[in-house]
């Protein structure tokens, strides 16, 4: 069952985000924009998939400091964190990203 990571306070405030992210053994951060077709498609696909890990969406237009923190220039980007430390990024087609999220890779 999917565990929502909705409890991240002030997700655009970097220090608060980092502190909250450390509370999760695993967390997938989805850096996406509402104005990006592939981002919207990925978010729709994620909403329909049974992802067994906590997810949090960071709106890149509202949180440029988080985007800069993750050194991200391409969207959507899914960053895999373990206790707040980056351990990987999920890239590829929408189908590949969804499969990797389901597998926890």
pLDDT in tens, 5-62: 444 555 788 998 898 899 999 999 999 988 989 999 999 998 888 888 899 999 999 9
pLDDT digits (tens, 9 = 90+) for 64-92: 999 999 998 889 999 999 999 999 998 76
Higher pLDDT, 4 or 97: 97
pLDDT, residue 64, reads 92
Tell me the CA distances in angstroms from 32 to 51, 64, 87, one per residue in order: 17, 11, 19
Which tokens hold the place of 69? Answer: 């923190």
pLDDT score of 3 more than 50: no
Task: List domains and CATH numbers for the chain.
Answer: 14-103 (3.40.30.10)
Which strands make up the sheet holding 85-90, listed edge to edge?
55-59, 27-32, 77-82, 85-90
> How large is the C-alpha radius of gyration of the chain?
12
């Amino acid at each position: 069952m999917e565990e929502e990571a909705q409890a991240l306070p002030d997700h655009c405030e970097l220090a608060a985000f980092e502190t909250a992210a450390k509370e999760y053994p695993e967390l997938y951060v989805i850096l996406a924009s509402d104005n990006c077709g592939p981002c919207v498609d990925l978010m729709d696909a994620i909403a329909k998939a049974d992802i067994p890990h906590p997810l949090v969406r960071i709106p890149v237009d509202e949180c440029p400091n988080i985007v800069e923190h993750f050194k991200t220039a391409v969207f959507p980007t899914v960053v895999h964190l373990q206790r707040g430390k980056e351990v990987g990024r999920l890239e590829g087609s929408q189908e590949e990203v969804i499969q990797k999220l389901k597998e926890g890779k």
